Amino acid sequence: MAPQNVDLIVEAEWVVPVEPHGVVLDQHAVVVDHGRIVDILPSTEVADRYAAASHVRRPGHALLPGLVNSHCHSAMSLLRGLADDLPLMQWLQDHIWPAEARFVGADLVRDGSRLAAAELLRGGVTCVNEMYFFPEVAAAVYAEVGMRAGIGLTVIEFPTAWASNADEYFDRCLAAYDEIKSQPLLRAAWAPHAPYTVSDASFERIRMYSDQLDIPVHVHVHETAFEVEDAFHKHGERPLSRLRRLGLLNRNLIAVHMTQLNDSEIAFCADAGITVAHCPESNLKLASGFAPIEKLRRAGINIAIGTDGCASNNDLDMFGEMRTAALLAKAVANDAAAFDAATALRAATLGGATALGLESEFGSLVIGKSADLCLLRLDDFDCLPVYNAISQIVYSSNRRDVRDVWVAGVRKLEDGHLVDFDTGQLAGLARAWGERIRAGLGR
């Protein structure tokens, strides 16, 4: 029988499907047609069964699902390094919010999102869960570059360049939702900023719309001890208890940071089926605290990993984030076996897809899923020898080792070079914004 014609075959020394958990397939190939995975089989069998328009052979490389950045403020790539080495509330109130009030508009969001998309794709990220103002602009950028994204419908109680009051936020969010819902690579999510900046009335409206539209609610919560203590002092309840009272603790909730938790909160979050989006490097940099990730994992809570924005990290490197998450969890739990490499990789892929309610579409290499793929070189001298490919990916490799990336079967990175991006132009754009912001702030 003649070989079946397909669009793409990718052969690698190691295929790491994520499902089943912890499995590594040696010398295997992933077969793709019309943007979806149609087969996974030993490389020795592929030539007899398939003929591809594009056949990529990568000895010494690992093929894994594209990474999913579960919490990011993409446009803040243009605020990278603006206000470093400061605690969260001083950083926000004295530096970030004033800079945003002066400079944030559709042009900054467009340019910052495009810069972020290039950085993410080059680092093996095929999906980003985004939260910022002008979500319709970010959505247009991600649709144009052909990258998967969760687009946050931002709600906050104070006026910004995007909206002046709660009603206008909701009107603009619903209009953006109508634009996003028809885009195959985009997923809308409600994105109330935090319990300390969003009223009960707005949270109740968000819960109603989330239930009606069946879309996630993506929110910063229990980020710092100050946030929790201040909420209890002002309202007599902790922020998570408030969200629970308002009906927001359910499978649609993506709770970002979660550094301040007691055992009863972990238990009711597990019962509710929420996701925790863990941002270890941002938490460390802002001294926000340590999320009890191993306790959350043992409770059965879905863990995803995010970078946060470049203003508080200062990069969008998910490989670095995975490594930090795994190492930090061991120290917090006082257990060297906590949050092992396979678990960290799962959180950075399938965990993020699950957070968005799209685990049946991407996040692992499974026949029928979208071909969101990342090829990573493990054959350079400083990454050898390879005893366990998953451990090597999490503990030894870095984003510069990413060689090829596909989103829904479409190549976005080829042998380390971005497709359809002018990186020189991007660098010039970033420099120009830096000069404008520096001059505007008198720095």
Q: How does pLDDT run across 170-226, given as a tens digit for each residue?
A: 999 999 999 999 999 999 999 999 999 999 999 999 999 999 999 999 999 999 999
What pLDDT does 92 receive? 86
Put residue 88 in one of left, alpha, beta given phi > 0 → left and psi -120 to 50 → alpha: alpha
The answer to whether 74 touches 113, Cβ cutoff 8 Å, is yes
Of 118, 146, 121, 158, nearest to 133 by C-alpha is 158
CA distance 280 to 388: 24
Instruction: Give 395's pLDDT tier (boundaries 50, 70, 90).
Output: very high
**Contacts of residue 359, Cβ cutoff 8 Å, sequence gap at least 6:** 350, 353
Of 169, 162, 250, nearest to 214 by C-alpha is 250
- End-to-end Cα spacing for the chain: 70
Q: Is the pLDDT of residue 443 over 80?
A: no
| Paired tokens of 432 | 């120009």
Sheet of 186-192, strands arranged across: 67-72, 125-130, 148-155, 186-192, 217-221, 253-257, 275-278, 302-305
Instruction: Give 88's pLDDT tier (boundaries 50, 70, 90).
Output: confident
What are the residue ranges of helices labelled H in 182-317? 200-213, 225-235, 239-245, 263-272, 280-285, 293-298
Look at 22-26, 215-219, 232-236, 400-404 and tell me which has the smallest mean pLDDT: 232-236
- Cβ density class 264-297: b for 16+ within 10 Å, e for less: ebbeebbebebbbbbbbbbbebbebbebbbbbbb
Of 246, 183, 248, nearest to 219 by C-alpha is 248
Three-state SS for 324? helix
Q: For all residues of the chain together, what is the average pLDDT? A: 97
Instruction: Give 49's pLDDT tier (boundaries 50, 70, 90).
Output: very high
| Paired tokens of 96 | 């970030």
Sign of CA dihedral 113, 119, 122, 123: negative
Mean pLDDT of 1-13: 95
What pLDDT does 87 receive? 85
Percentage of the residues of the chain whose pLDDT score is greater than 90? 95
- Count CA within 13 A, CB hemisphere, residue 28: 18
The answer to whether 420 touches 145, Cβ cutoff 8 Å, is yes
Q: Which residues pair with residue 129 across a beta bridge? A: 150
What pLDDT does 91 receive? 87
What domains sit in the chain, N to C, each tagged with a CATH number? 4-65+371-408 (2.30.40.10), 67-355 (3.20.20.140)
Instruction: Give 231's pLDDT tier (boundaries 50, 70, 90).
Output: very high
Mean pLDDT of 122-137: 98
DSSP assignment letter at 96: I
- Apex 189 CA angle, 156 and 255, nearest 5: 75
Give residue 165's identity as a one-letter amino acid code.
N
Sign of CA dihedral 43, 44, 45, 48: positive
What pLDDT does 441 receive? 87
Give tens-digit pLDDT for 330-359: 999 999 999 999 999 999 999 999 999 999
The answer to whether 418 touches 121, Cβ cutoff 8 Å, is yes
What pLDDT does 309 receive? 96
CA distance 310 to 279: 12
E-strand stretches of 94-210: 125-130, 148-155, 186-192
State residue 352 phi and psi, 5-degree precision: -70, -40
**Contacts of residue 298, Cβ cutoff 8 Å, sequence gap at least 6:** none
DSSP assignment letter at 82: S
CA distance 334 to 254: 26
CA distance 364 to 42: 18
